[in-house]
Amino acid sequence: MYIEDIKKISKEIRKNIIEAVYHAQSGHPGGSLSCADILAVLYFKEMHIKKDEPTLPERDRFVLSKGHATPALYGTLAEYGFFPKEELKSFRKIDSFLQGHPDKNKVPGVDMTTGSLGQGLSVANGMAMMGKLNRKDYRVYCLVGDGEIEEGQIWEATMTSAHYKLDNLCLIVDNNELQIDGKVENVMNVNPIGEKLKSFGFEVIEIDGHNYQEITQAFEKARNIKGKPTAIVAHTIKGKGIYFMENQVAWHGKAPNEEQYKIAMEELK
């Protein structure tokens, strides 16, 4: 039952992604589609949040460190009810509150402003550290891209997560293996990601990032790990769900034309 529900929700999120990028004729569909299933489980199963109180101090927090995946984040927030889905059509437009990259002061439900890669895990650490200091039992989730972890600050931040024993923090790596200039392993090899994170002090869980059961179980497991942070390395497919976008680096930051839009929406029916 749950799996069927979450499957439906992620399909809706994928539709929202395509709608937003198509109407903007700008944006990043590839890396949004790769993390859509993870966001669906996070927001509709895992996280404790309230759509009417987006800044509740006790809420769980999510930092989209790969800020260019706004279509996925906005698509999820709209699906959850933080703002009307109709607004997605204004994405990236001059009078819209839906900026190209997430803006916490403009969009209800966005916990942190991001966009310049490599900074989100540090921010999430800060939230987790204050959770402990202020004796609040919220959890903090941070999603990074696999290309993004080429940024040195990510590794500074992983040291911090482990040093301060942030077991209320869960890092998710959207391991879709592609970045703008090509395959991650050819542009600047970051592998083996899991082993690196493990040696930096994380409990590492490797999953299929499109398998709802595995995603759900990974979050459950992470919640019960004490004394150290958890990293979920989610093996994903860039462009997942739209056959002509899958594993195509060209769809990192390109909008579909009218024909492609129709084909994509047909596929998501």
Regarding 63 and contact with another protein (CB under 8 A), the answer is yes
Regarding 3 and contact with another protein (CB under 8 A), the answer is no
If the CB atoms of residues 25 and 116 are measured against another protein, the closer one turns out to be 116
Say if strands 230-235 and 140-145 run parallel, antiparallel, or are unpaired.
unpaired
Interface residue with another protein among 153, 211, 217, 247 (CB under 8 A) is: 153
Regarding 123 and contact with another protein (CB under 8 A), the answer is yes
User: Which residue(s) pair with 145 in the sheet?
Assistant: 174
Report which secondary-structure segment, H or E, holds 265.
helix 258-267
Interface residue with another protein among 164, 201, 223, 228 (CB under 8 A) is: 164
Say if strands 230-235 and 169-175 run parallel, antiparallel, or are unpaired.
parallel
Regarding 97 and contact with another protein (CB under 8 A), the answer is no
Please report where in the chains the tokens 């204050």 appear, as a residue: 130
Q: Please answer whether residues 144 and 120 qualify as being in contact, where contact means their C-beta atoms are separated by less than 8 angstroms.
A: yes
Regarding 150 and contact with another protein (CB under 8 A), the answer is no
Regarding 159 and contact with another protein (CB under 8 A), the answer is yes
Regarding 54 and contact with another protein (CB under 8 A), the answer is no
Q: How far, in Å, CA of 249 to CA of 245, rounded?
A: 8
Neighbours of 201 (CB within 10 A): 17
Under the rule (CB under 8 A), what is the footprint of another protein?
Answer: 57, 63, 103-105, 111-116, 118-120, 122-131, 133-134, 152-153, 156-157, 159-160, 163-164
